Chains A and B, each alone.
Chain A
Amino acid sequence: MGMTAEDIGAIEERHPQIFQRPAYKRFWPLVLIAGTVLYLAYALWFFSLPQVLKESHWERLPLFLSQWISYDLQPEFRLDQPQITPKYPRFSALGENPNPDWVIRNPDGTFTVQIDGEAKSITFDKTRATIVANGQTVLVSLTDGKPEVSGPVPNWVTVHDDEVVAKMGFVGEVRVTVDRVKVRKRFLGWANFVFDTRSPFFGKSAGEVFSLIVSGPELQSGTSNLALAADNIWNNAQWQHGDVWTKLLQTIVMAFLGTLLGGIVAFPLAFFAARNITPSGLLSQVLKRFFDFMRSVDMLIWALFFTRAFGPGPLAGSAAIFFTEIGTLGKTYSEALENIDDKPREGVASTGANGLLVQRHGVLPEVVPIFISQTLYQWESNTRGATIIGAVGAGGIGLKLWEAMRTNSNWANVFYMVLLTLFVVFVFDNISNFLRRRLSRTLHDYNRLQAAQG
């Protein structure tokens, strides 16, 4: 049973606000979408996005990401010396006397390097190399002045003019030329996270370290082994635990101090800025523009100025957050004050209390939970913001992160700091959420009590 044209007409007549809307109301979504599309086309041109994307190196992304949680060792074997000896880079993760069990000196004078057990390995002497991977064996002859592959070349091997490269996926790669063999072997995990290679505890198992600390002879006379171990960990040259944790604490301090001081200064000012409480309308306007100014000058500008004034460090960062927060908290506080219920205030005033007492007993109980909640919210967001501010020189973990990233080689360190930052943000989010929930419950109970008492 369908509807007749009359029914439809009747419905249209009954609801003109739905069926006969003015043209601008009907078309504004279309205009908005068209505008967005046009803007995006403009942005595409503005940032010359096609060209940037064409020139980008997406193949680096998995490499960088794998470096977050792994490290590699790169032994090199010179073939043009009388004796083939493995050489490791100066600051390799193996320490000063590397003798890993995956580099094997065979009785017949050849070397075998196991990149992933027997299945992915290379065996070589001065005349030829045998590369094994993916169930295939590739023979490389090194006698004719350039490396030559005999037999078919599998797709994981690339033959260049003077070099044969065999890529073995995540575990590493082998590069063979006539005068050297270069191996890169990749390990999952973080190398030397606890003790670096200079430490006397380097290379010892957890049990050995423990027994040394508990009952071993003093490794360095004059200091206990426990103090030595702690010192070695704190000053680990590769991971710089001490420095990283200090910088992290600086970031936390910046957010805490900046927000707290901002709140302390904004608190009295907000009363003079709130339209319903201020003694003078002019003062209210002046203060509100002052708050806008502090906010609009922006944390970056304050950070750069204070870095110049106080030198780089957490003091500059705290001051930057402090100044921005005067604006932000001043604005939110005064808005909260403007939204209060006037009755308690009138009640207190009718008993003859002076101005200060009216604020204390008529206004404060109502707004303090809101103030604290807003301050906590800002504290939370500043903990995150302090990381970025740090990168321009305002102290904290930000600068350290930025420096570690600039070399593009220290991604494991970057990831370590990221994990710490994520942990801090997570903890502070939860503290702040917990406190705000408690507060809102208090507020809720208070309102219910008020309602119950009429």
Chain B
Amino acid sequence: MTASATIHSEATRQQADAWRRQTSLRRFYTALGVGLLLVAMCATMWFADEANAGHFFERLPHILDFLSWLIPKDWNDVWRALFDIASPHDKGTQEFNFPLGRVYVWGGFYIPEYFELMLTTVNVALVSTFIGFVFAVPFSFIAARNLTPSPILRLVVKRFMELLRAFPEIVIAGLFAAIVSIGPVAAIIAIGLHSIGALGKLFYEINENIDMRPEEGLRAVGANWIERVRFADLPQVLPNFMSYTLLRIEINVRISTIMGAVGGGGIGEELKLSISRGFGAKTLALVLLLFVTIFLVDQFSAWLRRKLVGEQAFLMSA
């Protein structure tokens, strides 16, 4: 009786020791990881500060000076800038030349300059997402392991999409700026090519997880590859495809804004100019317009995605 109890407690003690050892080892690794991360953080902070034109602590007291030009003397100028209405502060400089940018559509009816620019940016995003979608759908069926018509073709398409995804958009934009002239068309090509790669990857990962029974059914009745894809696979994946495409529109609106700032046309260019010259009212108007647009696009896309695929649409990468 006592002997067995001793053995029992002996085993328990061993177990407890093993557990303790394991835990302390784990704690050690966690501490090591966090420590390394902290060291890396400090080192990179120092590096970034050192390489920057102005230094952090040197510039910090002046942060508020920088904000002071942003606050306009007359808040109404923000609205005037937004809707191209003449400002009483106009002295012939570019800071308050609001009515000059009007785009007349019909008689006296005009689209304010910034709305037109915002429209350009959004259109760039929409058209390039469309290009991405149109090419990514067939590519994704070729690149999916379970649906591919030929393994070699699959590898080629997969590598091609990887390349498109990783290739810096700015280089494609620069290359095409020299060919189709600088402006939104070069941006469309650059963002479109990138979207093919980005959407294609997401799409073929969806394709690899579909239910294969409809596909087998169609194969049994002698359907060819296109018919199988069209009637067995596409209906399963289309809601998910749409959902990812909507997500891509959100991302592309942002990229298209940035592309604008480096010569791709649209609102980015105007924003960059206005910030670098310190035009407070114009900057605020542009930021407001951009903020509201991105917010609306995000909300609309989230709403539509929720309708299409339910809550699943929001588990992006987990």
Q: Which A residues fall within an 8 A CB radius of B?
A: 36, 39-40, 43, 46-47, 49, 52-53, 55-58, 60-61, 64, 246, 249-250, 253-254, 256-257, 260-261, 292-293, 295-301, 304-305, 308-318, 332, 335-336, 339, 370, 373-374, 377, 384, 387-389, 391-392, 395, 398, 401-402, 405-406, 408, 414, 418, 421-422, 425-426, 429
The smallest beta-carbon distance between A360 and chain B, in angstroms, is 13
Whether B295 and A292, one on each chain, are in contact in the complex, defined by CB atoms closer than 8 angstroms, is yes
Whether B175 and A300, one on each chain, are in contact in the complex, defined by CB atoms closer than 8 angstroms, is no
User: Hey, which chain A residues are within 8 Å of B255, CB to CB?
Assistant: 388
* Nearest B-chain residue to A336, judged by Cβ: B318
Whether A36 and B130, one on each chain, are in contact in the complex, defined by CB atoms closer than 8 angstroms, is yes
Whether B52 and A315, one on each chain, are in contact in the complex, defined by CB atoms closer than 8 angstroms, is yes
CA distance A36 to B53 in the complex (A): 47
The contact of B166 among A246, A305, A317, A426, by CB within 8 Å, is: A426
Whether B53 and A311, one on each chain, are in contact in the complex, defined by CB atoms closer than 8 angstroms, is yes
User: Hey, which chain A residues are within 8 Å of B179, CB to CB?
Assistant: 56-58, 60-61, 64
Total count of chain B residues near the partner, CB < 8 A: 65
Closest 5 CB pairs of A and B: A313-B52, A311-B53, A311-B54, A405-B174, A315-B52
Quick check: which of B39-47, B81-89, B146-154, B220-228 contacts chain A, the rest being far away?
A: B39-47
Known contacts A64-B178, A389-B258, A422-B166; is-contact A313 B171 (Cβ 8 Å):
no
* Nearest B-chain residue to A436, judged by Cβ: B317
Quick check: which of B4-12, B210-218, B268-276 contacts chain A, the rest being far away?
A: B268-276
Q: Which B residues fall within an 8 A CB radius of A?
A: 37, 40-41, 44-45, 47-49, 51-56, 59, 62-63, 66, 119-120, 123, 126-127, 130, 163, 166-171, 174-175, 177-181, 183-185, 188, 254-255, 257-259, 261-262, 268, 271-272, 275-276, 287, 290-291, 294-295, 298, 314-318
- Of A249, A310, A317, chain B has the most CB atoms within 10 Å of the CB of A310
User: Hey, which chain A residues are within 8 Å of B62, CB to CB?
Assistant: 309
19 sample A-B contacts, Cβ–Cβ < 8 Å, listed by A number? A46-B123, A60-B178, A261-B41, A304-B261, A309-B63, A313-B48, A314-B47, A314-B51, A314-B52, A315-B48, A317-B48, A339-B315, A373-B318, A388-B170, A391-B170, A401-B168, A414-B174, A422-B167, A429-B166
* Nearest B-chain residue to A376, judged by Cβ: B317
User: Hey, which chain A residues are within 8 Å of B315, CB to CB?
Assistant: 339
CA distance A311 to B180 in the complex (A): 33
Beyond A52-B180, A56-B180, A374-B318, list 9 extra A-B contacts (CB 8 Å).
Answer: A53-B180, A57-B179, A64-B178, A298-B290, A300-B258, A387-B168, A414-B174, A422-B163, A422-B166
CA distance A295 to B291 in the complex (A): 9
Whether B48 and A254, one on each chain, are in contact in the complex, defined by CB atoms closer than 8 angstroms, is yes
Known contacts A332-B316, A401-B170; is-contact A47 B262 (Cβ 8 Å):
no
User: Hey, which chain A residues are within 8 Å of B177, CB to CB?
Assistant: 405
User: Hey, which chain B residues are within 8 Å of A46, CB to CB?
Assistant: 119-120, 123
The smallest beta-carbon distance between B252 and chain A, in angstroms, is 12
* Nearest A-chain residue to B318, judged by Cβ: A370
Whether A299 and B276, one on each chain, are in contact in the complex, defined by CB atoms closer than 8 angstroms, is no
Whether B291 and A305, one on each chain, are in contact in the complex, defined by CB atoms closer than 8 angstroms, is no
Whether A300 and B261, one on each chain, are in contact in the complex, defined by CB atoms closer than 8 angstroms, is yes
Whether B272 and A392, one on each chain, are in contact in the complex, defined by CB atoms closer than 8 angstroms, is yes
The smallest beta-carbon distance between B6 and chain A, in angstroms, is 28
Whether B175 and A309, one on each chain, are in contact in the complex, defined by CB atoms closer than 8 angstroms, is no
CA distance A47 to B116 in the complex (A): 12
CA distance A395 to B171 in the complex (A): 16
CA distance A37 to B318 in the complex (A): 36
The contact of A408 among B126, B178, B257, by CB within 8 Å, is: B178
Whether A401 and B47, one on each chain, are in contact in the complex, defined by CB atoms closer than 8 angstroms, is no
User: Hey, which chain B residues are within 8 Å of A39, CB to CB?
Assistant: 126
User: Hey, which chain B residues are within 8 Å of A398, CB to CB?
Assistant: 168, 170
CA distance A249 to B44 in the complex (A): 10
Whether A47 and B37, one on each chain, are in contact in the complex, defined by CB atoms closer than 8 angstroms, is no
CA distance A234 to B294 in the complex (A): 43
* Nearest A-chain residue to B314, judged by Cβ: A335
The contact of B49 among A58, A315, A391, by CB within 8 Å, is: A315
Whether A300 and B178, one on each chain, are in contact in the complex, defined by CB atoms closer than 8 angstroms, is no
* Nearest B-chain residue to A316, judged by Cβ: B52
User: Hey, which chain B residues are within 8 Å of A429, CB to CB?
Assistant: 166
CA distance A260 to B36 in the complex (A): 13
CA distance A56 to B294 in the complex (A): 32
CA distance A391 to B263 in the complex (A): 10
Whether B59 and A311, one on each chain, are in contact in the complex, defined by CB atoms closer than 8 angstroms, is yes
User: Hey, which chain A residues are within 8 Å of B53, CB to CB?
Assistant: 310-313
Whether B48 and A318, one on each chain, are in contact in the complex, defined by CB atoms closer than 8 angstroms, is yes
CA distance A374 to B315 in the complex (A): 10
User: Hey, which chain A residues are within 8 Å of B184, CB to CB?
Assistant: 47
Whether A256 and B44, one on each chain, are in contact in the complex, defined by CB atoms closer than 8 angstroms, is yes
CA distance A64 to B185 in the complex (A): 18
* Nearest B-chain residue to A371, judged by Cβ: B318
Known contacts A405-B175, A418-B171; is-contact A47 B287 (Cβ 8 Å):
no
User: Hey, which chain A residues are within 8 Å of B171, CB to CB?
Assistant: 401, 405, 414, 418
CA distance A101 to B99 in the complex (A): 65
- Of B37, B127, B262, B315, chain A has the most CB atoms within 10 Å of the CB of B262
The contact of B181 among A56, A298, A312, A395, by CB within 8 Å, is: A56
The smallest beta-carbon distance between B312 and chain A, in angstroms, is 11
The smallest beta-carbon distance between A403 and chain B, in angstroms, is 10
CA distance A1 to B10 in the complex (A): 79
The smallest beta-carbon distance between A370 and chain B, in angstroms, is 5
Whether A43 and B275, one on each chain, are in contact in the complex, defined by CB atoms closer than 8 angstroms, is no
The smallest beta-carbon distance between A280 and chain B, in angstroms, is 24
The smallest beta-carbon distance between B303 and chain A, in angstroms, is 14
The contact of B294 among A58, A298, A377, A414, by CB within 8 Å, is: A298
User: Hey, which chain A residues are within 8 Å of B168, CB to CB?
Assistant: 384, 387-388, 398, 401, 418, 421
Known contacts A298-B294, A377-B317; is-contact A250 B258 (Cβ 8 Å):
no
The smallest beta-carbon distance between B268 and chain A, in angstroms, is 6
The smallest beta-carbon distance between A145 and chain B, in angstroms, is 37
Whether B37 and A297, one on each chain, are in contact in the complex, defined by CB atoms closer than 8 angstroms, is no
Whether A64 and B272, one on each chain, are in contact in the complex, defined by CB atoms closer than 8 angstroms, is no
Whether B123 and A43, one on each chain, are in contact in the complex, defined by CB atoms closer than 8 angstroms, is yes
CA distance A261 to B44 in the complex (A): 11
The contact of A384 among B44, B48, B166, B254, by CB within 8 Å, is: B166
User: Hey, which chain B residues are within 8 Å of A388, CB to CB?
Assistant: 168-170, 255, 258-259, 262
CA distance A364 to B51 in the complex (A): 37
User: Hey, which chain A residues are within 8 Å of B268, CB to CB?
Assistant: 300
Known contacts A300-B257, A309-B59; is-contact A391 B166 (Cβ 8 Å):
no
Whether B56 and A296, one on each chain, are in contact in the complex, defined by CB atoms closer than 8 angstroms, is no
* Nearest A-chain residue to B133, judged by Cβ: A36
User: Hey, which chain B residues are within 8 Å of A261, CB to CB?
Assistant: 41
